[in-house]
Structure 1
Amino acid sequence: MNELMGDGYVEKKDQNRNSFNDVIQDYSAEVCFGRVWAREDIDRKTRSIINLAILTALNRPAQLAHHVEGAISNGCTVAEIKEVLLQTAVYCGLPAAGEAFKVAEESLRAGGHLD
């Protein structure tokens, strides 16, 4: 999963694992990362772009922050991420895209991808 989501993702996820949330973490690992991300008909970069747009539309900032770092790990450039988020302004609305830009900027800055 670190390969898809960026360095430290698994370790951070494991730190939050407990007897209550273990079932959803197992589900995520098996279905999301084990089945869907492993499929070969579209590449990881494309999957990352789709996720950025969907998470913006659904207003899921915590997940978006993880997937911004994942998008970088999967070959997206900062410029491509910016364009994806701009595209969401048209179809998801300016408030959703504005929030996504803020979350993405924080994530990119924390990852050392922005000055």
Structure 2
Amino acid sequence: MQVRREVLGDVHVDAAVAATTPLDAPFQDYITGAAWSDVWGRDGLDRPTRSLLTLVLLAALGHEREFEMHLRAARNTGATPEQIAEALLHVAVYAGVPAANTAFAALKREYGGDPRTEAVQREESS
């Protein structure tokens, strides 16, 4: 659970734990052990690299909600927006431009640089 908290943050993990029911408790136990202990807890790759790999896979598979969650988590892993953008170029070539386009839009929303988001923010602050 420690690695999960370090990567996703206490707020996210506490919300996931609080929302756990008897129906999904085994699933929560499984992902905490398999993903966060058995994989993220290994020494073979550093956290920024694991974060980039996770983002690339989620983008390629079209898992937008999980991708956005891991974009936020990338702030805790040390993966930079520039590194994420480089990784998304690989998504475009190997998994398709639409998948990368969707991921780049989320990246711009999370880290800035999306003119649509910036226009809305300017309107709200006026």
TM-score (norm 1): 0.85
Task: Work out whether residues 6 and 69 of structure 1, in 8 Å CA contact, stay in contact via their aligned partners in 2.
Answer: no
| Alignment pair present for 1:104 and 2:107 | yes
Inter-partner Cα distance in structure 2 for 1:6 and 1:84 = 23
Structure 1's unaligned 5+ residue stretches are none
In terms of fraction of residues, the more helix-rich structure is: 2
> Superposition pairs for residues 19-98 of structure 1, below 5 Å?
19-98=22-101
Task: Work out whether residues 17 and 25 of structure 1, in 8 Å CA contact, stay in contact via their aligned partners in 2.
Answer: yes
Please identify, of 80-89 and 41-50, the stretch whose mean Cα deviation from structure 2 is larger. Answer: 80-89
Which structure's relative contact order is higher, taking Cα pairs within 8 Å and 6+ residues apart?
1
Task: Work out whether residues 44 and 74 of structure 1, in 8 Å CA contact, stay in contact via their aligned partners in 2.
Answer: yes
Work out the number of aligned pairs and report it: 111
TM-score (norm 2): 0.78
Give the secondary structure class of the aligned counterpart of 1:8: helix
Cα–Cα, structure 1 residues 26 and 107, in superposed 2: closer, same or farther, change >3 Å?
farther
Identical-pair percentage: 32
Instruction: Look up the match of 2:13.
Output: 10
Inter-partner Cα distance in structure 2 for 1:27 and 1:21 = 10
Superposed structure 1 runs of 4+ greater than 4 Å apart: none
Inter-partner Cα distance in structure 1 for 2:9 and 2:96 = 28
Structure 2's unaligned 5+ residue stretches are 119-126
Task: Work out whether residues 64 and 104 of structure 1, in 8 Å CA contact, stay in contact via their aligned partners in 2.
Answer: no
- Backbone CA RMSD of aligned residues: 1.9
